[in-house]
A and B are shown apart, each in its own frame.
Chain A
C-alpha cells in the first residue's frame, strides 16, 4: 500500500471519528433521565440537582457525624425532634417523629426524666428488609434499639462520649459489651424505658436540658432492627447485600434510589411520607406573599433529588453556568468571576436571575493561647496585647475574601447570649497592644534584661495558603517587637499538641455548634473539660467562670441565663484565653427556578422544603446550551489543510 493511500485512509477515518464524536455528543446534559415523567397527580416530575464534595463515609444514623453524611442522611432519616425552618433567632425545636417536645420531670438529686410520645402511623421506607417489602410502623422499641446501638462499641457512635455522662445505664452497657466483646441486645438500657407501643421515657442521671438537641440529631433516631440485620454486607441466595451503613432505612421524605460510588446519589420521594407538612408561619413578614401559598402543603415539594459528587470545584461552576445545577457554594476558584469587590453578585449573573445568599455558620474560629504556659499563662496583659495586635479584618480580607464575620465574642450569631453590639475590648488596636505589652513587662517586645521575647506559633498543614496565613499571623505579633517562631504541624500532630498542652499559641482552633445552645460553646473553657476529659485546649481555669457555667448549663433560655452568659463572656474577654478570629460565612447561589426557601444553618439543606419550577429551567437550559457550528467547520478546515500540507511535504521529499 502506498503512503498516499495510508494517509488518505487515515484522514477519512479521522473525519468519520470526528463526525461520530460530534454526533454522539449531541446532548451535554450530564444526568441520567428522571426516574419518572410525571408524578402521581400527573404534574411534571420535579428533579432537583445538587452537588456533594465526596461520598458520605457512613449513613448509619448512629454514626453519621461528618458534614457530607449529615447532608445525605437528613432527607432519609427523620429525628425525634427537628428545628423549625424559619425560626433562627433564637432557634426553635418542634416535634418531628415525636408528637411534641417531651414532657420534663425532675426527680431527686437532679435526676430528670423526659417523657416522649411518638406520632402514630409513621412508616419506615418500603424496603426488602420488611415482610412484603412494605415499611412497618415506627414504635418505641425502635428508639430503644437506637440507644442500644449508641452503646455498642462496634457501632462507634460519636455521641456516646457525651450521652454516657447523662443517660442512665449507657456507660454500663458500653463497658459490659467492651469486656465481653459482644453487645447484648436482649438487655434493655435502664435510661431508656419503653412504656407503651408509642411512648418511652429517657432517664438522666443529672439535669441536662440540652438532651432535647440530641433528640434532633440522627444519633437518637429510631432504627428498625430488621434493617440492621438484613443489611449485613453478606451474600444471600446469590445476591450481595449492602452494609447497613450504606443502606439507611428511615422514615424521611426521601429514600435513596441509587448510590453510584464516586458519581452520584439519587433520592426519590417516599410515597409513605406523612410526618410533617410545610409550616404555617414563623417566617419573616417580608416573605409572606412568597411562603403563605405553601403553608400546610404536603412535603416534600420536589419528587427526586440528584446529588452529583464533584471532587474539583471548577466543574461545579461550569455546570451551574449551563443551568445543570440548581445551586452552588461560592468557592475561591470562582469568587472573582461571581462576586464584585463590594461583595455583591456580578451584573452578568444578576441578569440570569441568579440570587446570592450569605450564610453564617453557628461557629467560631480562634487561636488558642495556652494558659498553663509559664510565659503566657500568668501574664494576662501579654495575652491582651497579642489579641490587640492581631488585625483580624485584614486577615479575613486577604485569606477569606472578607466573607466571614469578625468574631467579637465566643458565641456566634443566633446562639442565645450572643450580643450584636458587643465589641471585643482587645480587638485590633496596635497602639493599645504596644501599651499593653509594656504593662506586661515587655516594652517593645523585650524583657527587663533587654532580651527579645520569643513565642511559638503552632499551625496546621503545609500548603501554600496555610504557609502564607502563618506568615501573616507571625507578622501581626512581630509588629510588637517580639519574635515568633512558626511550627508547621500535620493536622493530627496539632490536635495531639492541643490535647497534650504542648504549645504556646495554636492557630486553627474552632468550634461548630452541635446544637444552638451557649453551653455548647462555653464548655470549651470549663475547667473540668481540660484534656483528656474534654476540649478546653487553652486549659482555662477560672473558679468564677466554672461556677457561672454550672449554673447556666442547666437553665432554660431567658433573661437570667443571658445575664450569666454575659458575665462569662466578660470574663473570657478580659482573661483572653484565645484570639478571636471569625464566625465562618459562606456565599452561595441559587438559580431563578429554585429560590431559597429556608436558610436555617442547623438544617443540613432542608431538602423537604425545596421548591422548583422545572419548565423555566428547561427553557433556560436550552437557551444557555446552544451549540455553535463554526468550530466544527474550523476544525475540518485545519484538518484538511494539515493533510494537504503533509502530502505536499511527502511528495517534495
Chain B
C-alpha cells in the first residue's frame, strides 16, 4: 500500500510538469507576451511602456530554452517559472501584483461554503430520491418523476440562476439578491439561495444517473437470493443495493471533490460570492498568465490527488480490490 502510494505520488511530478508545459505552450501559442502586455496596459500604452512591463515580469526572457550566448540555457521564462512552482511559490499576479497564495487562500473558503453544502445536500437528495424511485419503479409516480428529472435537466443553469434570483430575491424579497459577508450564521442568508439553485440545477441529472445505477444493481443474482430468503424490499434496497452501488458512486463523488474548491463561476458572479469561480476565467480574459499557471498547477495537483483518493476508496469499499 505504502509503496503504491509513493509510486503514485512520484508519478505526479512528470504529469504536472507535462500539464504545465502544455499550458505554457497553448497560452503563448495563442498570444505573445507582447500581446499580453498590450491587453493589460490598454490602447494608450506606448511601446516603451510595453517593454518595461515585460522586463519587470521577466517576459523578455526566451520562452523555453535560453540560446543567447554567454547566458545559462536554463535562464528562460518556462524554466524559471517551473523552478519557482517546484517550491510551491505561486508568485504574484501579472496584472495586480497581488500574491497568488493570498488570492487562493481568501477565495477558497467562500467557494467551499457554497459548493460543499450544495454538493452534500444535492448528493443526499439525489441518492434518496433515486432509491425511492427504484422502490416505486414502473409506477405512475416514477414515470412523472422521471419526466420531471428530464425537464430539470433540460433547463440551462443560467435560467435557474436568473429566474431564481429574480423571483426569490427580487419579487419575494426573501434573501439578498447579491452580496456576501463572512459573519457566523448570518453568512447563511447570502448562501441559501445559490445553494438551493445549485442543488435544483443538478438534481435532475443526478437522480436519473443514480436511479439507473441502483436499477442495474437490483438485477444482480445476490438481490434475487436476498429476496428469496424473504428480506423486505426496504432492507434489500438500503442494505444491499445501496451499499453495492457505492462503488460507482465513489467514482463520481471523489473525482468531483477537487473541483469543489474551484467554486462556481456563474453563481459566484451572479450572487457576489468572492470565491475562486471566476479567478481562472478572469485571468484568461485579461490575460494574466501568472494566475492561469498557478490555477492549472493547483488544479492538476488537486485532480491527481482526487484520483488517488478514488483508488484508495475503491480498496476500502470493495474487498476484491487490492492496491499493489
Q: Are A25 and B189 in contact, with the CB atoms below 8 A?
A: yes
Q: Are A495 and B47 in contact, with the CB atoms below 8 A?
A: no
A620-653: contact bitstring with B at CB < 8 Å (1 yes, 0 no)?
A: 0000011110010000000000000110111011
Q: Closest CB-CB distance, B158 to chain A, in whole Å?
A: 10
CB-defined contacts of B177 to chain A, threshold 8 Å: 28, 30, 315, 318-319, 322
B141-176: contact bitstring with A at CB < 8 Å (1 yes, 0 no)?
A: 110000000000000000000100110011011111
A19-50: contact bitstring with B at CB < 8 Å (1 yes, 0 no)?
A: 00110111111111000000000000000000
Q: Which residue of A lies closest to B181 (CB)?
A: A32
CB-defined contacts of B27 to chain A, threshold 8 Å: none
Q: A319-B178, A492-B35 are in contact. Are A627 and B173 (CB under 8 A)?
A: yes
Which among A27, A28, A57 is the interface contact of B95 at CB below 8 angstroms?
A: A57
Complex-state Cα separation, A631 to B55, whole angstroms:
60
Q: Are A499 and B47 in contact, with the CB atoms below 8 A?
A: yes
Which among B34, B53, B174, B270 is the interface contact of A315 at CB below 8 angstroms?
A: B270
Count class of interface residues, chain B: 35 or more
Q: Closest CB-CB distance, B214 to chain A, in whole Å?
A: 14
Q: Which one, A150-158, A284-292, A424-432, is touching chain B?
A: A150-158
CB-defined contacts of A314 to chain B, threshold 8 Å: 162, 165, 270
Q: A32-B183, A161-B46, A627-B172 are in contact. Are A260 and B274 (CB under 8 A)?
A: yes
Q: Which one, A303-311, A342-350, A409-417, is touching chain B?
A: A303-311
Q: Closest CB-CB distance, A553 to chain B, in whole Å?
A: 18
B115-158: contact bitstring with A at CB < 8 Å (1 yes, 0 no)?
A: 00000000000001000100111011110000000000000000
CB-defined contacts of A315 to chain B, threshold 8 Å: 165, 177-178, 270-272
CB-defined contacts of B47 to chain A, threshold 8 Å: 499, 531-532
CB-defined contacts of A653 to chain B, threshold 8 Å: 135-137, 139
Q: Are A31 and B188 in contact, with the CB atoms below 8 A?
A: no
Complex-state Cα separation, A322 to B176, whole angstroms:
10
CB-defined contacts of A57 to chain B, threshold 8 Å: 95-96
Does B230 touch A at the CB level, under 8 Å? no
Complex-state Cα separation, A322 to B178, whole angstroms:
11
Q: Are B42 and A263 in contact, with the CB atoms below 8 A?
A: no
Complex-state Cα separation, A650 to B142, whole angstroms:
10
CB-defined contacts of B39 to chain A, threshold 8 Å: 491-492
Q: Are B97 and A243 in contact, with the CB atoms below 8 A?
A: yes
CB-defined contacts of B46 to chain A, threshold 8 Å: 161, 532, 534
Q: A32-B183, A161-B48 are in contact. Are A646 and B173 (CB under 8 A)?
A: no
Q: Are A158 and B269 in contact, with the CB atoms below 8 A?
A: no
User: How many residue pairs between the two chains, A and B, have CB atoms under 8 Å in the bound complex?
Assistant: 168
CB-defined contacts of B175 to chain A, threshold 8 Å: 25, 28
Does B36 touch A at the CB level, under 8 Å? yes
Complex-state Cα separation, A430 to B177, whole angstroms:
50
Q: A315-B178, A322-B170, A492-B38 are in contact. Are A24 and B43 (CB under 8 A)?
A: no
Does A236 touch B at the CB level, under 8 Å? no
Does A269 touch B at the CB level, under 8 Å? no
Does A58 touch B at the CB level, under 8 Å? yes
Q: Which residue of A lies closest to B132 (CB)?
A: A646
Q: Are B136 and A495 in contact, with the CB atoms below 8 A?
A: no
Does B84 touch A at the CB level, under 8 Å? no
Q: A156-B56, A532-B47 are in contact. Are A645 and B173 (CB under 8 A)?
A: no
Q: Are A645 and B141 in contact, with the CB atoms below 8 A?
A: yes
Q: A28-B169, A490-B31, A490-B35 are in contact. Are A153 and B272 (CB under 8 A)?
A: no
Q: Are B190 and A30 in contact, with the CB atoms below 8 A?
A: yes
Which among A65, A308, A496 is the interface contact of B35 at CB below 8 angstroms?
A: A496
Which among A30, A309, A532, A646 is the interface contact of B176 at CB below 8 angstroms?
A: A30
Complex-state Cα separation, A325 to B270, whole angstroms:
16
CB-defined contacts of A21 to chain B, threshold 8 Å: 188, 192, 196
Q: A161-B46, A492-B38, A499-B47 are in contact. Are A649 and B173 (CB under 8 A)?
A: no
Does A66 touch B at the CB level, under 8 Å? yes
Which among B36, B44, B135, B274 is the interface contact of A535 at CB below 8 angstroms?
A: B44
CB-defined contacts of B128 to chain A, threshold 8 Å: 10
Does A8 touch B at the CB level, under 8 Å? no
Does B7 touch A at the CB level, under 8 Å? no
Q: Are A27 and B38 in contact, with the CB atoms below 8 A?
A: no
Complex-state Cα separation, A4 to B176, whole angstroms:
37
CB-defined contacts of B43 to chain A, threshold 8 Å: 495, 510
Q: Closest CB-CB distance, B52 to chain A, in whole Å?
A: 6
Q: Closest CB-CB distance, A211 to chain B, in whole Å?
A: 18
A477-509: contact bitstring with B at CB < 8 Å (1 yes, 0 no)?
A: 000000000000011110110010000000000
B265-287: contact bitstring with A at CB < 8 Å (1 yes, 0 no)?
A: 00001111011001000100000
Q: Closest CB-CB distance, A521 to chain B, in whole Å?
A: 13
Q: Which of B87-102 contact A (CB under 8 A)?
A: 95-99
Which among A25, A153, A311, A628 is the interface contact of B269 at CB below 8 angstroms?
A: A311
Which among B53, B172, B173, B233 is the interface contact of A156 at CB below 8 angstroms?
A: B53
Does B321 touch A at the CB level, under 8 Å? no
Which among B97, B142, B181, B190 is the interface contact of A58 at CB below 8 angstroms?
A: B97
Complex-state Cα separation, A488 to B31, whole angstroms:
15
Q: Closest CB-CB distance, B276 to chain A, in whole Å?
A: 10
Does A434 touch B at the CB level, under 8 Å? no
CB-defined contacts of B135 to chain A, threshold 8 Å: 3, 650, 653
Q: Which residue of B lies closest to A495 (CB)?
A: B38
Q: Are A318 and B272 in contact, with the CB atoms below 8 A?
A: no
Q: Closest CB-CB distance, A161 to chain B, in whole Å?
A: 4
Q: A535-B44, A652-B139 are in contact. Are A310 and B178 (CB under 8 A)?
A: yes
Complex-state Cα separation, A587 to B186, whole angstroms:
36
Does B185 touch A at the CB level, under 8 Å? yes
Q: Are B179 and A31 in contact, with the CB atoms below 8 A?
A: yes
CB-defined contacts of A156 to chain B, threshold 8 Å: 49, 52-53, 56
Q: Are B176 and A28 in contact, with the CB atoms below 8 A?
A: yes
Does B41 touch A at the CB level, under 8 Å? yes
Complex-state Cα separation, A153 to B51, whole angstroms:
11
Q: Which of A584-641 contact B (CB under 8 A)?
A: 625-628, 631
Q: Are A154 and B56 in contact, with the CB atoms below 8 A?
A: yes
Q: Are A318 and B169 in contact, with the CB atoms below 8 A?
A: yes
Q: Closest CB-CB distance, B174 to chain A, in whole Å?
A: 5
Does A115 touch B at the CB level, under 8 Å? no
Does B24 touch A at the CB level, under 8 Å? no
Does B180 touch A at the CB level, under 8 Å? yes
Which among B95, B170, B179 is the interface contact of A321 at CB below 8 angstroms?
A: B170
CB-defined contacts of A7 to chain B, threshold 8 Å: 132
Which among A24, A58, A158, A625 is the interface contact of B192 at CB below 8 angstroms?
A: A24
Complex-state Cα separation, A309 to B162, whole angstroms:
18
Q: Are A308 and B274 in contact, with the CB atoms below 8 A?
A: no
Q: A314-B270, A315-B270, A492-B31 are in contact. Are A22 and B174 (CB under 8 A)?
A: yes
Q: A25-B192, A156-B56, A161-B48 are in contact. Are A631 and B172 (CB under 8 A)?
A: yes
Does A186 touch B at the CB level, under 8 Å? no
CB-defined contacts of A260 to chain B, threshold 8 Å: 274
Which among A24, A153, A261 is the interface contact of B274 at CB below 8 angstroms?
A: A261
Does A245 touch B at the CB level, under 8 Å? yes
CB-defined contacts of A55 to chain B, threshold 8 Å: 96
Does A312 touch B at the CB level, under 8 Å? yes
Which among B36, B169, B270, B272 is the interface contact of A308 at CB below 8 angstroms?
A: B272
Known: A28-B174, A495-B38. 20 other contacts (CB 8 A): A3-B135, A21-B192, A25-B176, A30-B179, A54-B282, A161-B49, A261-B98, A262-B274, A262-B275, A263-B274, A308-B272, A318-B165, A490-B35, A491-B39, A492-B35, A535-B44, A625-B173, A627-B173, A645-B141, A646-B136
Instruction: Jot down 10 A-B pairs with beta carbons below 8 A, ordered by A.
Output: A7-B132, A27-B176, A57-B96, A160-B49, A161-B46, A315-B177, A318-B170, A319-B177, A492-B36, A645-B141
Q: Which residues of B are interface residues toward A (Cβ below 8 A)?
A: 31, 34-36, 38-39, 41-49, 52-53, 55-56, 95-99, 103, 106-107, 128, 132, 135-137, 139-142, 162, 165-166, 169-170, 172-181, 183, 185-186, 188-190, 192-193, 196, 233-234, 269-272, 274-275, 278, 282
4 pairs of A and B residues whose beta carbons are closest in the complex? A30-B179, A492-B35, A262-B274, A649-B141
